[in-house]
Amino acid sequence: MRLDYLLQLLETRKLYAKRRRENDDANEGYYKKHLEFGFSIANDSVVPQIEKPDRNLTYKDIVDCPISCWTKTERESYLMWKSYAGETGVRIKSSIHNFIASLQLDLGKDGADKVFCGSMNYCENFLPSNDEEKQIFSKDEVYSDEDEFRFYFILSDDSNRKGTTHRLIPIDPKVMIDEILFSPFICKEAADKFARMIKCSYGFENVEQSKIKIK
């Protein structure tokens, strides 16, 4: 995550979630008509399948969904820093439970908003599929080093999907964030100043610098 996105998150209490079609993998933004998927929502009782018209989510809906992408890999990766954060990046650590608990959405049993989440599977020559789980939680194997866990947001007030590239998801940062780690490309003096500011202004104690040494 870029440092300015983190500061925006802490200040506004909203998480930047880009739409799936904005991902680098062209196949994730590929519109294919006449694909419909049915889902069971987490925490709902398992019930017999109902007719598709009452439970469908179109492929177009999936392409336009806001998503939040995380890596499950705990160790630091130079290449991940270089690719996704650069010189002004940070890494935030959370858990699935804390992430869900931090969301300020209507997620009750009969809530208007929904969240689908799961680990990504990586396959050769990934293309749109009629299998709903494969479609939303699969991507091309060239991205497998990401070891990604993904959240999809189905929001009741998301009518202007075509006109936006992202959504800001209301969250509680104190619930979501367990640790903040600064990029190895940020000079130590600057990282120290940002760390003190974050600790003082937002009450986070677990703010560290990368262990990776850069010349």
Residue 71, domain member (yes or no)? yes
Task: Judge whether 214 lies within some domain.
Answer: no
Q: Indicate the pairing of strand 90-93 with strand 179-182.
A: antiparallel
| Residue ranges, the chain, pLDDT below 70 | 30-60, 128-133
φ/ψ of 212, rounded to 5, equals -75, 130
pLDDT at 110: 76
Is residue 66 a part of any domain in this protein?
A: yes
CA pair distance 114, 107, nearest whole angstrom: 6
Q: pLDDT tens, 164-192? A: 999 999 999 999 999 999 999 998 899 99
Residue 103 lies in a domain: yes
Is 171 domain-assigned? yes
Q: Is residue 215 part of a domain?
A: no
Q: What is the pLDDT of residue 48?
A: 45
Q: How confident is the model at residue 130, as a pLDDT?
A: 59
Enclosing domain of residue 126? 3-209
Q: How many domains does the chain have?
A: 1
DSSP 94-155: --HHHHHHHB-S--STT-S-EEEEEEPEEETT----S-HHHHHSEEEGGGGGG-EEEEEEE-
The enclosing H or E element of 29 equals: none
Residue at 156 is within a domain: yes
pLDDT at 148: 94
Q: Residue 162 domain-assigned?
A: yes
3-state secondary structure of 22: helix
Provide the token pair at 156.
């009741």
- The Cα–Cα gap between 41 and 144 comes to 26
